[in-house]
Amino acid sequence: MRQESNDEKTHKMAKFLVTSTAGLIPGAGGLISSSFDLLVGDPAIKRLTQFVEGLAERLEAMEREGLLTIENLTGKREASALFLQAIQASMRADGARKVEGLKNVAANGASYKPEDRYISFIVLQILDRITEAHISMLSHLNKLARRTPIYWSQGEMSGVRLSDSPKGMTNPVKGVDSSYHDSREVKINRIILHDLAALGLVHIGLEIPDSIEKWSTEASENGQDTLTLTDLGRLVVDEMSDEPVETFAGDKNQ
């Protein structure tokens, strides 16, 4: 008996994803299922095809590792809804890191017990809301401020280009070390940091010196702002990874 090739298994898994999510759209299941082979060859939906095939490859690998079984996902509305939400969000994604994160969240969620998958829906909604720039900042903070606070200045200067010349900069500023940076990039980082804080992903604190002779009405004169990832921020970072540092609940379907 001939064994299926990896490409055939991935194709089969991709078809499962398309047909299972189509089932949530009244009347669309049969049409999409029957025309799947045509859909994956249409250049107009190349992004969708790449995402579905990438997710299918990850799920197929997880099934080989015994982390999940497709039989346990087939016909399960919450699993189909999870895949559909990830696929829809991928069509709105503005960069490769976001697309990869959406794929990993959906795959990780597929391995959770049904009653725990709500956490994946929460993370998918957050990812759909934020941008590639937010994700880069989260990655930066995960390395430096996962649990230990860093100064605000370390966050707002994340990824900011330093140069000996102001050439090509929109709003060049000369620093104390005589290097130039674009204040526009710093301003964008500040907006992103405040947005991440508003979403509950980053905590903005204040480091107060041991002794203050006189309190000021200006908070910045009383101490330095600090940044730390919150529990939710760490969860989002971990769920976006194919190798999470901390796995939610630690309970996987076997």
Q: What angle do CA 11, 15, 16 make, to 5 degrees?
A: 115
Are 141 and 202 in contact by the 8 Å Cβ rule? The answer is yes
Exposed/middle/buried for 227, CB within 10 Å: 0-12, 13-18, 19+? buried
Q: Where are the domains of the chain?
A: 6-129, 133-235
Q: How far apart are CA 47 and CA 91, in angstroms?
A: 7
Domain 133-235 sits in CATH 1.10.3470:
no
pTM, full prediction:
0.77
N residues, the chain = 254
Q: Are 125 and 147 in contact (CB under 8 A)?
A: no
Each residue's pLDDT tens digit in the chain (254 positions)?
555 555 556 666 666 666 665 554 444 444 344 444 544 555 446 777 888 888 989 998 888 888 888 888 877 888 889 998 998 898 888 889 999 999 999 999 998 888 888 999 999 999 999 999 999 999 999 999 999 999 999 999 999 999 999 998 989 999 878 899 999 999 999 999 999 999 999 999 988 666 656 655 665 566 789 999 999 999 999 999 987 655 555 444 43
